[in-house]
């Protein structure tokens, strides 16, 4: 297929999956960059799980997640970044969290702290304070444990992507839930709120 414009010529070869640009050098370079950017964006979207969830639905998301070969470090980890497949680590690593996460944890602790319950029980002998102060927050980054966790998630996602959840008519705003009764091979369907 050929596309001719005033500045350059596109030649697309669908069989070999190639594109040839010819014409004015600056325009060809500009078009080449634009095409490369579009290809990068399309490639990123095919592996971006959130994009798949938004555009293709739950079942496609679960299938894509379960078939993803690599294990990536969680975004909030600071000791490890990117692909964890080549990392050999048998133990966990304590890492101080960033200021934003520390603040969130501090807010959670102070919001849920009940000073009326402090000082009761055998472990409160000679305890005279009633408040709590968060001084440091650590997170454990354990690659081997996280890999096992992701493996179990992938197995569950793969199983759940094949389940067909039927709609229950007559129940506005509610969905049916499928649960496998322990020790049986049949599914129970029951109505439940979203």
Is the separation of the CB atoms in 144 and 88 below 8 Å?
A: no
Over 90: is that where the pLDDT of 104 sits?
Answer: yes
Average pLDDT value over all residues in the chain: 76
The pTM of the full predicted model, rounded to 2 decimals, is 0.49
Q: What does the pLDDT look like over 114-135, one tens digit per residue?
A: 877 776 777 777 777 778 889 9
Q: What does the pLDDT look like over 4-44, one tens digit per residue?
A: 565 667 776 767 777 777 777 888 788 878 877 777 665 55
Task: Give the chain's length.
Answer: 194
Q: What does the pLDDT look like over 157-184, one tens digit per residue?
A: 888 777 766 666 666 665 555 556 566 5
pLDDT of residue 194: 40
pLDDT above 90 covers a percentage of the chain that reads 9
Q: Which residues pair with 11 in a beta bridge?
A: 2, 20
């Amino acid at each position: 297929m050929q596309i001719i414009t005033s500045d350059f010529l596109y030649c697309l070869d669908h069989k070999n999956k190639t594109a040839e640009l010819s014409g004015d050098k600056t325009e060809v370079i500009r078009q080449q960059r634009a095409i490369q950017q579009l290809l990068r964006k399309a490639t990123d979207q095919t592996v971006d799980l959130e994009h798949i969830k938004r555009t293709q639905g739950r079942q496609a998301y679960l299938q894509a997640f379960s078939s993803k070969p690599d294990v990536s470090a969680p975004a909030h980890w600071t000791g490890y970044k990117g692909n964890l497949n080549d990392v050999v680590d048998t133990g966990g690593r304590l890492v101080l969290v960033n200021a934003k996460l520390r603040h969130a944890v501090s807010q959670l602790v102070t919001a849920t702290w009940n000073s009326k319950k402090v000082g009761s029980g055998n472990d409160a002998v000679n305890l005279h304070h009633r408040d709590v102060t968060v001084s440091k927050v650590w997170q454990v980054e354990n690659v081997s444990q996280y890999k096992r966790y992701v493996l179990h998630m992938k197995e569950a996602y793969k199983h759940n992507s094949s389940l067909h959840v039927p709609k229950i008519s007559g129940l506005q705003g509610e969905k049916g839930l499928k649960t496998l009764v322990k020790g049986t091979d049949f599914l129970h369907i029951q109505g439940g709120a979203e």
